[in-house]
Amino acid sequence: MATEFWDQAGQHHDVSEETVVAVLAALDVEAGTAEQVAAAKAEHLLRDWRRTLAPVYVRREDEESTAWVHVPHGAGVRMWVDLEDGGARIDLSQVDRWVDPVEVDGAMVGEATFALPNDLPTGWHRLGVEITAAAAEQASTSLVITPHHLELPERLTRSRGWGFAAQLYSVRSHQSWGLGDLSDLSELAQWSGRDLGADFVLVNPLHAASPVPPMAPSPYLPVTRRFANPIYLRVEAIPEFAQLADLDRVECDSLAGSVRPMNASPELLDRDRVWAAKRRALELVHRVPLTSERSAAYDAFREREGEGLADFALWCALADTYGQPASWPTDLADPHGAAASLARETLAGLVDFHTWCQWALDAQLAAAQAAARESGMSIGIMHDLAVGVHPEGADSWALRDVLARGIAVGAPPDMYNQIGQDWSQPPWRPDSLAEQGFVPYRDMLRTVLRHSGGIRVDHVLGLFRLWWIPRGMSSGQGTYVRYDHDALVGILALEAQRAGAVVIGEDLGTVESWVQDVLRDRGVLGTSILWFENEADGTPRAPEHWREHALASVTTHDLPPTAGYLEGEHVRLRHELGLLATSYDDELAGHRRTLEAWTGALAAAGLLADEHADADTGYTMGAGDVDGIVEALHRYLAMTPARLLAISLADAVGDRRAQNQPGTDQEYPNWRVPLTDAAGRVVLLEDLPGIELLNRLVSHIASGSNVRSPS
């Protein structure tokens, strides 16, 4: 835990004693008095000496490393590795390394060190020991060997790739149920891969929200990161839909008809209305008996997902029954207590419904990725992994032993969020996560990656450190808590390698340079956003100086679409919401200087017409010039060496409205804005091929780099 830190502007800050004590309390360390601090330090020094083995050893392939074991002083010990694939046991050699014994609870404890071979395969292995003392004793733990470097797909080693970034819920078609869904994602991927030569579609997190209204709109505040939101199901694509009884089919058609008119509306998206209709339809389809083949597949899915799925489905059933968790009976606080065990039986029907929904989601996610790859995409669907979960959600309930209580994750103040951010999410406890061998983290990654060609890790700095804000304190009163990044990044690389997926780390904001070095060394691509690519003096970074190992785009979902940004929409909005730390005029003047700098850079690069551009004084934007600058910015993007390039679908259709305004909750309709054009007209999936701006942006990205051409 940090007791001091430097902010994005390079200013030094000391962390208050109040914050330090509160954060330590969340880690079960009492530090309110000098005596408590001394006792905590003494216990910390003995913690590992009380163990025979560490809870887990995470090591990197092709590197010499060791593992320790604690034994009664003078006892003999041997150590071995049992490989994940069940291969031959590998005996390890002890290293001649003396460590002074330590007295623990009146007994002397020694430490032996064993060498781990540098040719162990990647995977989740077991490390075993046998101690020969007064009586023989055996123990074992996990040994995780992670990839040295995560390689890109073979095609991307020869040429660059590009794709669309889209908020799936906002991308609707004529067949949608008022909200973009997984069938829409399949269609978007097929069209952009087959007709445009795209390599991927990056979507917002599809993590599950509460099944009880009101459904939280933010995809970055889910109830779980492991399982998906059934609101993204296309009911008609579930095989049992075709076997519905006539009356049930009529009801399903009526339910679809009640929400499909919303597809043509530019008004805010209504998740609760959509979910009410879709859930009723799903309940009707769920009642259809499964064939023996489908039943066997369902059983296999439940067995594969195990306890994690069972706990999530139970949480959903309890939410259906009792409402929001704050109103649950107190004896249901323990997911493995007697009351929860009884609820698994009494609510078996609801539990099965939510389990079945996840099975249907698994199939439709697989279909979307298959459609993407069949269209020629080298990556396919790129999923987004949120930073954390809702403080009263399913993960907070089922994984409560590995999440810090009384703490919210956020970010300190910076130039774009001048009062800081509080994301209301409980962070992993680094100590407890290691105690469980990182299994909850691994299982989450496996589920998200199973049908992914890539994964974007939001705020990837969270694998290194997170900004912890104690309950009752402001965003600026937190501190950084560090994590075992070697383990977390290594396990991410291992699970991505097994899934054949690329990894993008969102490394914007206050990120130390060594963090980016570590990520690049492990094969994790960074994130480059044009508006943030500036030199130390604030001038735009020349395209040739951008990072190669990154996914580059003009904008991000935390800013308005580029046309809106050019028009100062973000300044106007933050002023209206009272989020500016300076005056509106000063902020607008600063934005104007940013635009002048960037249009000057575009002019210098020959990307703006001579009659409109001046490399020294910048570019004066007229009312009809917005699309031209949007195009020039994407041409500039194509001049960079970035391995992957993304076009925001909102940019491609001329949208203006921001999807999200950081620092707000109810003040702005975050994550509820449908896809519309410059005039505010709805844009449906079927409209995309005919949009001229979209086709021009794709042409600029493709012609400015050696990306794949459409087939």
Total tally of structural domains belonging to the chain: 1
pLDDT value of residue 617: 45
pLDDT, position 621: 60
Instruction: For residue 488, tell me if it sits in a domain.
Output: no
pLDDT given at position 157: 86
Name, in order, each residue with C-beta under 8 angstroms of 622's C-beta and a sequence gap of 6 or more: 612
Structure-block tokens of residue 439: 């299994």
Going by C-alpha positions, the residue among 405, 403, 406 that lies closest to residue 472 is: 406
CA gap 343, 397 in Å, rounded: 15
Residue 510 · residue 414 · CB < 8 Å:
yes
What the block records as the tokens of 303 is: 């067995």
Q: What is the pLDDT of residue 706?
A: 54
Q: What are phi and psi for residue 56, nearest 5 degrees?
A: -165, 145
> Is there a contact between 127 and 142 (Cβ–Cβ < 8 Å)?
yes
With respect to residue 27, please indicate whether it lies within any of the assigned structural domains.
no
Which helix (DSSP H) or strand (DSSP E) does residue 104 occupy?
strand 102-104
Max CA separation in the chain (angstroms): 91
Residue range(s) defining the domain that contains residue 74: 62-146
Q: Flag whether 120 is in a domain.
A: yes
* Residue 439 domain-assigned (yes or no): no
In the structure encoding, which two tokens stand for residue 159, read together? 């040429």
d(CA 60, CA 494): 10
pLDDT at residue 615, as a whole number = 46
Distance between CA 95 and CA 15 in Å, rounded? Answer: 42
**Would you say 253 and 277 are in contact if contact means Cβ atoms under 8 Å apart?**
no
**Which of these, 178, 356, 207, 197, lies nearest to 275 by C-alpha position?**
178
Residues 437 and 494: their CA atoms lie apart, in Å, by 15
- Tell me, what's the pLDDT at 158? 85
- What is the per-residue pLDDT for 154? 85
Task: Give the pLDDT confidence score for residue 56 in this predicted structure.
Answer: 98
| Residue 354 forms part of a structural domain | no
C-alpha–C-alpha distance, residues 164 and 634, integer Å = 13
- Concatenating the DSSP letter of every residue in 288-345 gives SPPPHHHHHHHHHHHHHHHHHHHHHHHHHHHHHHH-SGGGS-GGGSSTTSHHHHHHHH
- Residue 102 within any structural domain of the chain: yes
What's the pLDDT tens digit per position in 232-264?
999 999 999 999 999 999 999 999 999 999 999
pLDDT along the chain (711 residues), means of 10: 89 95 97 95 95 98 96 96 93 96 96 97 98 86 98 88 98 99 99 98 99 96 98 99 98 99 98 99 99 99 98 99 96 97 98 99 99 98 98 98 96 77 94 98 98 97 96 95 98 98 92 92 98 95 97 97 96 93 94 95 88 49 80 98 98 97 90 98 99 98 63 48
What confidence score (pLDDT) does residue 9 get?
80
381-412 pLDDT per residue, tens: 999 999 999 999 999 999 999 999 999 999 88
Structure tokens at 625: 């010039």
Strand partners, 80: 91, 128
Tell me, what DSSP letter sits at residue 455? E
Has residue 128 been placed in a domain? yes
Q: What backbone torsions phi and psi does residue 662 show, to the nearest 5 degrees?
A: -55, 145
Tell me the pLDDT tens digit for each residue of 288-329: 999 999 999 999 999 999 999 999 999 999 999 999 999 999
449 assigned to some structural domain: no
CATH code of residue 68 = 2.60.40.10
